[in-house]
Structure 1
Amino acid sequence: MLSLFDQGPPKACPTPFNLAAHVLRQADRNGDKIALSVLGATSAQNWSFAALKRAILATGTGLLRAGLKPGDLVLMRLGNTVDFPITYLGAIAVGIVPVPTSSQLTQPETAKIIQDLNPSAILRDPDIASADHPNQISLSQLREMRDLPLAEFRMGDPEDMAYVVYTSGTSGKPRAVAHAHRAIWARQMMVDGWYGLQETDRLCHAGAFNWTYTLGTGLMDPWTIGATALIPEPGTDLSNLPDMLRNHRATIFAAAPGVFRKILNEANDLHLPDLRHGLCAGEKLSRHLHQKWTRITGRELYEAFGMSECSTFISSSPAYPARGDALGQPQPGRRVAILGPDGPVPQGKEGTIAIHRSDPGLMLTYLNAPDEALARMQGEWFLTGDQGAMAVDGQITYLGRDDDMMNAGGYRVSPIEVEATLSRYPGISQVGAATVEVKQDSFVIVAFYTGPEKLDEDALRAYVETNLARYKQPRAFIHLPQLPTGGNGKLLRRALPAYFKATNT
C-alpha cells in the first residue's frame, strides 16, 4: 500500500464568502457573551462578541474613508495588543489585504518588505520599528475609527486574496505567502482534527496577538464557533500562566513547546481542574516534554504540524490520539501523501510530506515569486520540505527537514538570511548558522565564522539587534579557523552543532 491519506474532500466553501464574516458568524447570536479576555495579573479586559464585531466593522469603514480600496495591500506594524486582530479583521471585512508582520522586525527588514510589496499604506504603532512610507495610518487613528458607522462585509469569491504572511524562504529571502478567503474555511478541519474545540470552551493562547499562530488558533478559530479566547496581556511572566489558567478557568491551553517547557521548569505540581487538554505547535514537541506535561498535569497534550503555506493539517486530537512516536494523522478532509521522486512511497518508507493542491487551506502563491511556488509542486502535490513516514493506519512520524531551515522558539528561520547579514560585518570572512541544542529540548541559533581574529561578541550582538528580528538573532558567536565543507567546497551546516559542543566542553 502507498503512503496516501484520502478519506474524501471537505465540504465545499460557500460562495460568496468573506473570511472576517465567517469568523464573526456567531457574533449576533452571542452578542453579550465574552469573545476575548485580555488577562492581567489581577484583572481582565473583556470584549463581548457584539463589541468586537462593532470595532471590526467600524475599522473597515475607517480604512475605506482613508482612501484604501478593496485589493490594496496594507503592511501591519502594530504591537502585541487587541488593536492587531481588530485591524486585521477590519481590513479583511472590506476586501483590503492586510500583511501582518512580527513587531520584532527591524527597520532594515521592513524596508525590504516595503520594496517587495509596495503596500498602499502602513498601519503603524509609532513604538514599532518601520521604514518610511508616504502613507502611514497611526495607531491613534485606527482607534478613532471605532466610532464610525459600520461597514458591510464585502462578500466575494472564496479564491480572492484575503491576507499575506511572510515566511523564511530557503533562498534566504523571506517570501510573501498569499492566502485566499477560503483559508479560514479550511481551518474547520482543525476543530475536531486537532482542537476538540466546543462552543463552551475558554481557550487560552500564550502567544502574542501579532503572531499568526495566535491569530488563528487563539482568536479566529474560537470566535468562529462562538467560544471564548483568553490572551495574557503583553509582558506577562510565563511563570504566572498556571495561576491565570486556573483563575480564568481555561479549558484548553495552546502554546509553543518553549512555553510548556518554561512552565514545567518552575512547577512540580500543576493543579488545573478546568483544563481539558493542551495544544502544541510551532516546533517539534519532544517525547520528554510531552511525558513530563502529562505526568505533572494529568492532562493530554496534542501536537500539530503545519506551515505558513498551509497552516496545520497533520495533528493528534482527543478524537484521533497519536500512537507511539507518531506526530498524528492528517485531519479528516485533508489529502496528504509521503512522496518520493516517483510519487507516493510504500507505507513505512521515508519521503517528503506533501499536501494536495486542492486543499482549501493551501496558499494561492508567493507574491512576486510565482516560479518559486511552482517549484514546490510535484504534479498535484505541494512539497513541504519536511520528511516523514506514514503507517498503515495513516499516522505520520516526523523525521525532520530535508534542508537546513532552522527552528528556534517556534519560528522557522533561513540560515542564509542570517549568514547574509553577518557576512557584511567587518572582519568576517565566512559564516554559517545553525540551531544548537544547548540543553535538553532547548535550541538556539548560533553563528560560526572565520576571520583574521576573534571578534567582540558585544559588538556582534549590537549589530544583529539592529539588522535582524530577535527570533532570527544568533545567541552565540563561535570563531573557527575554518568551517566544515564537503568535497565541492559547500558549507556543511549540519556539521556545525558539533563545533559548538567541542568549544563548550
Structure 2
Amino acid sequence: MVEEMDQAAFNLAAYVLAAGRTRADRPALIVPGVQRWTHGALADAVERRAGGLAARGLMPGDRVLLRLGNSGDFPVTFLACALAGLVPVPTAAGLTEREITRMAALVDPALVVAEAGIARPTGADAVAPGALDAAPLPPADWARGSADRLGYIVFTSGSGGTPKAVAHAHRAVLARRAMWDGWYGLRADDRMMHAGAFNWTYTLGTGLLDPWAIGATAIVPPPGAVDLAALMRAEEATIFAATPGIYRRLLRGDLSGLDALRHGLSAGERLPEATRTAWHAATGTDLHEALGMSECSTFVSGCPERPAPPGTSGYAQPGRRVRVVDGRLQVATDDPGLMLGYWADGAPVPVAGDWFDTGDRVTMRADGAIRHEGRADDLLNPGGFRVSPQEVEAALANLPVHEIAVGCTRVAGGAEVLAAYYVGPLLDEGLADAHATARLAAYKRPRLWLRRKALPRNANGKLRRRDLA
C-alpha cells in the first residue's frame, strides 16, 4: 500500500491525478479517432467539473447517479464527484428505465448526471455532464478526510439475482496497488488498452484509474470498434485487458504484429485454459487472469513475475489474506479493498466477523495457487446430481466451436437434463458425445447439443446462465 500518503486527509481523486501532474504533457486518455487527453488536460477537466458540482450546493456525502455512456465524461464526472466530497454511483448505460428506477431507489441520489439517449430513473431531473463545468475547484477546497469514509457505490452485476449496491471507501483505490505487481506488472510507461465500456467498474479500475495513478496511458476503443487487434497495433498497446469472450473473438482474427504488447489481462469470468494456451501460441505473450468481485475488486491473480500454474487463477495478491473453508473462498474483513458493506436505508451495513465469504467455490493447492470452480449459487442439478458448469465447460473447451456453455433445460415429460449451448460450426454430435464420454462421468455429460447464434450475456459480457434455456 502507500504508507507515505496521509490517510487522515485523503481523497481518491486527488490520489489518482497526482502522478499525472508530474508528467502533464504525457497522454492520459486515448479514444482512437474520438478523444486524446494529456494528464494535464484530464486534471483540468476534473477540476472544472468538480467546481460545477460544488456550486450546486449539494451536501457532503450526497450520492450522484451517473447515467453516462462510452466517453471521457464518465471518468471525469466520477473523479469530480470524489474531489467535491460527493459519492459517485456509476451504472451501466444499457439499463432500462425500469431497472435504473429500482436501483436508484436503493441509493436515493441527490443528483442524476445523464447523457441524452440513456435511460434515467422515472421522474428524475437530470443534468448533462457538460452543463456542470465551471470555475475549477481549487486544491484548498478539495474534500479530504479519512481514507475509511464512503467514497463511491457500485452495483453488482445481478447475474445471481437482484443487483446489490456495494459501498466502497476512498481507501479502495489504495488497495488497488496490490494489483500493480500482483496482476498487471504495471509501469509508468505502459499504454493500457481495455476493451470494456467506460461505465463498467472493470474498465474504470483496471483500464483508467490504475494507469492514471501511476502516470501511464489509458486507451479505450471507441463505441462500435470491431478490429481491436488493429487498434492495439496502431496505439502500441503494451497491456490489453478484456473478458475471456473478447479473447476468443480475437483468436479468430489476425493477431500478428502486436510488437509492443507485453501481456494480456483477463477477468469477468473464468478464463478457459485452452484460451490462455491459444493466445500464447498466436501472440507469444501470456494471459494473466484475476478472480474478484464487486465487493472486493480482484484479490487473486497470476502476474508476469509469478504466472498462474495451468488450470488455476493464480495466487492471493501481495497484502491480501484469504482462506478456503468448506471449499469456499473467504477474504479477511480488514482488507482495505473490501467494501464497507451493502448499502441499505441510507448507510452501508458493516461486514460482520473476521472473514467475508465470497461465494466462490475454489480449491487451493499446496503452493497457494487457487483454482476457481464457479459460484456457489451456480451449481446445476440435473437428475438430482450437483454439477459444476465450469468443470463441464473446461472438459468441452477443445471442441471445434467458438464458445460453449452448459445449463439445464426441461425436456418432454418434465425431466431436467444438462445441455451444451454452443456458437460456431455445426457439431458432429457423435464425436461431441465421445469427447465428453472420455472426460466426464455420465451424470456430467450433456444430453443435448444446442447451436445458438450467440450466448446470452449482460452488458459487461458476463454469461447469463439462467437465460441459456
**Structure-2 residue corresponding to 1:404:** 378
Q: Residue 366 of structure 2 is aligned with which of 362, 375, 392?
A: 392
SS of the equivalent of 2:372 reads: strand
Q: What letter is aligned with 2:75?
A: P
- Shift of residue 332 of structure 1? 0.9
**Structure-2 residue corresponding to 1:185:** 174
CA displacement, residues 340-391 of structure 1 (integer Å, 9 cap, x when unaligned): 3xxxxxxxxxx111110010000001011799967x75x4110111111222
- Shift of residue 271 of structure 1? 2.1
Q: Residue 241 of structure 1 is aligned with which of 221, 225, 228?
A: 228
Q: What letter is aligned with 1:86?
A: V
**Structure-1 residue corresponding to 2:264:** 278
**Structure-2 residue corresponding to 1:25:** 18
CA contact (8 A) 1:194 1:317 kept: yes
Matched, 1:366 2:342: yes
Aligned partners of 2:69, 2:2: CA distance in 1, in Å? 35
Question: What does residue range 486-497 of structure 1 map to in structure 2 within 5 Å?
Answer: none
Structure-2 change in CA distance of 1:445 and 1:16 (3 Å): farther
- Shift of residue 393 of structure 1? 1.8
Q: Residue 308 of structure 1 is aligned with which of 294, 305, 313?
A: 294
Matched, 1:336 2:322: yes
CA contact (8 A) 2:32 2:221 kept: yes
Q: Residue 333 of structure 2 is aligned with which of 357, 372, 391?
A: 357
Q: What letter is aligned with 2:204?
A: L
CA displacement, residues 196-216 of structure 1 (integer Å, 9 cap, x when unaligned): 010011111111111111100
CA contact (8 A) 1:97 1:163 kept: yes
Q: Residue 160 of structure 1 is aligned with which of 121, 126, 149?
A: 149
- Shift of residue 502 of structure 1? 7.1
Aligned partners of 1:315, 1:496: CA distance in 2, in Å? 28
- Shift of residue 132 of structure 1? 2.5
Aligned partners of 2:91, 2:402: CA distance in 1, in Å? 27
Report the TM-score, using the length of structure 2 for normalisation.
0.80
Aligned partners of 1:249, 1:281: CA distance in 2, in Å? 22
**Structure-2 residue corresponding to 1:259:** 246
Q: What letter is aligned with 2:63?
A: L
Q: What letter is aligned with 2:373?
A: L
Structure-2 change in CA distance of 1:502 and 1:220 (3 Å): closer
CA displacement, residues 215-265 of structure 1 (integer Å, 9 cap, x when unaligned): 00000000001111111111111xx11111111111111111111111111
* Structure with higher RCO (Cα < 8 A, 6+ apart): 1
- Shift of residue 186 of structure 1? 0.2
Q: What letter is aligned with 2:376?
A: D
CA displacement, residues 257-301 of structure 1 (integer Å, 9 cap, x when unaligned): 11111111123x522111111111111000111000000101111
Question: What does residue range 55-454 of structure 1 map to in structure 2 within 5 Å?
Answer: 55-142=45-132, 145=133, 147-152=134-139, 153-168=142-157, 172-237=161-226, 240-267=227-254, 269-340=255-326, 351-368=327-344, 379-404=353-378, 440=401, 442=403
CA contact (8 A) 1:448 1:480 kept: no
Aligned partners of 1:276, 1:282: CA distance in 2, in Å? 21
Structure-2 change in CA distance of 1:27 and 1:127 (3 Å): same
Aligned partners of 2:313, 2:81: CA distance in 1, in Å? 35
- Shift of residue 441 of structure 1? 6.6
- Shift of residue 339 of structure 1? 1.2
Which of structure 1's runs of 4+ aligned residues deviate more than 6 A?
Answer: 369-374, 434-439, 444-447
Aligned partners of 1:303, 1:126: CA distance in 2, in Å? 36
- Shift of residue 69 of structure 1? 2.2
Structure-2 change in CA distance of 1:53 and 1:289 (3 Å): same
CA displacement, residues 384-433 of structure 1 (integer Å, 9 cap, x when unaligned): 11111222221111122211389xxxxxxxxxxxxxxxxxxxxxxxxxxx
- Shift of residue 15 of structure 1? 2.2
Q: What letter is aligned with 2:403?
A: S
SS of the equivalent of 1:243 reads: helix
Structure-2 change in CA distance of 1:47 and 1:481 (3 Å): farther
CA contact (8 A) 2:329 2:362 kept: yes
Deviates further, 179-188 or 394-403: 394-403
Structure-2 change in CA distance of 1:25 and 1:380 (3 Å): same
Aligned partners of 1:108, 1:496: CA distance in 2, in Å? 38
Gaps of 5+ in 2: 381-388, 418-442, 453-469
Report the TM-score, using the length of structure 1 for normalisation.
0.75
SS of the equivalent of 1:306 reads: strand
Q: Residue 29 of structure 2 is aligned with which of 16, 36, 39?
A: 36
Q: What letter is aligned with 1:387?
A: R
SS of the equivalent of 1:210 reads: coil
SS of the equivalent of 2:187 reads: coil
**Structure-2 residue corresponding to 1:458:** none
Structure-2 change in CA distance of 1:134 and 1:279 (3 Å): closer
Structure-2 change in CA distance of 1:107 and 1:496 (3 Å): farther
Aligned partners of 1:139, 1:202: CA distance in 2, in Å? 27
Gaps of 5+ in 1: 1-8, 341-350, 407-433, 450-478, 486-494
Aligned partners of 1:445, 1:157: CA distance in 2, in Å? 46
Structure-2 change in CA distance of 1:104 and 1:10 (3 Å): same
Aligned partners of 2:407, 2:310: CA distance in 1, in Å? 32
Q: What letter is aligned with 1:389?
A: T
- Shift of residue 26 of structure 1? 1.1
Aligned partners of 2:20, 2:13: CA distance in 1, in Å? 11
Aligned partners of 1:445, 1:61: CA distance in 2, in Å? 51
Q: What letter is aligned with 1:138?
A: A
Structure-2 change in CA distance of 1:503 and 1:214 (3 Å): closer
Structure-2 change in CA distance of 1:196 and 1:121 (3 Å): same
**Structure-1 residue corresponding to 2:435:** none
- Shift of residue 335 of structure 1? 0.6
Aligned partners of 1:329, 1:335: CA distance in 2, in Å? 11
SS of the equivalent of 1:199 reads: coil
Q: What letter is aligned with 1:72?
A: D
